[in-house]
Structures are given as C-alpha cells and as structure tokens.
Amino acid sequence: MKVNVQTPGFDADIKLINFIEKKLSKLEQFYDKIIFADVFLKLENTASPENKIVEVLLSIPKGDLIIKKECKRFEIGIDECVQSLERQLKKRKEKQRAHL
C-alpha cells in the first residue's frame, strides 16, 4: 500500500512519517485490497492543547474510508485513526463474506 503524508504549513519529522507508515501497513492484515492511504496532518490555531488534526483517507475498492481525529499529539491521533479504520475494515470484510 502506498502511503502519502501531507503536512500543510510545517515539515513532518522522518520519525513521524515512518511511524505513520508502520501503523497503516498493519491494516493490510485486516483487508488486503487497500489501494493507498492519504494522511493529512494539520495544526489548528487555537489555545486548546488538542490542536493537532489527523485525517486519514483510505482508498479501497467500492468506496473510500475517511477518519478525522483531534488530539494533543499526532502519534495519538494516528493510533486512534488506525483503530477506527481497523473496525471499519473488519465490518466491510464481514459484509462481503455474507454476500458470497
């Protein structure tokens, strides 16, 4: 799976990009037809400590999955997004099996 990380307004550390790629690659064990993942990391201009936004667009056949999380750190946001995507991919796989 190809992972594309976009960080408008700042440059992401290579460690963060490697972390994102490693976490997202684990999704392939739940659903092997993932085409690519677009990850958007954004900083929001607020006084709140939860000013980091992580959006993940997962492209799969017959539709895309989009997850958006706000948190204190990008790593936490990626973890939460991966957990949500994992649940959605498992549901989609079960529905496909039911239709066979």
Name the one residue in this structure whose structure tokens are 């607020």.
46
Q: Collapsing DSSP states into helix, strand and coil, what is residue 69?
A: strand
- Per mean pLDDT, which of 44-53, 77-86, 90-99 is the most reliable? 77-86
Let me know: does 30 contact 93? Beta carbons within 8 Å.
yes
* Over residues 61-85, mean pLDDT: 94
List the alpha helices (DSSP H) in 10-73. Answer: 14-25
How high does pLDDT run on average in the chain? Answer: 91
Higher local confidence (pLDDT), 100 or 87:
87
Which pLDDT score, from 0 to 100, does residue 14 have?
A: 94
Q: 18-22, 27-31, 43-47, 59-63: lowest mean pLDDT where?
A: 43-47
How do residues 5-34 score in pLDDT, each as one tens digit? 999 888 889 999 999 999 999 999 988 889
In this structure, the number of other CB atoms found within 10 A of the CB of residue 55 comes to: 16
Q: Which domains does the chain have, with CATH numbers?
A: 2-98 (3.30.160.100)
Q: What percent of the chain has pLDDT over 70?
A: 99
* This model's pTM is above 0.95: no
Neighbouring residues of 97: CB distance < 8 A, sequence distance ≥ 6: none
Which pLDDT score, from 0 to 100, does residue 88 have?
A: 93
Neighbouring residues of 3: CB distance < 8 A, sequence distance ≥ 6: 20, 21, 24, 25, 36, 37, 39
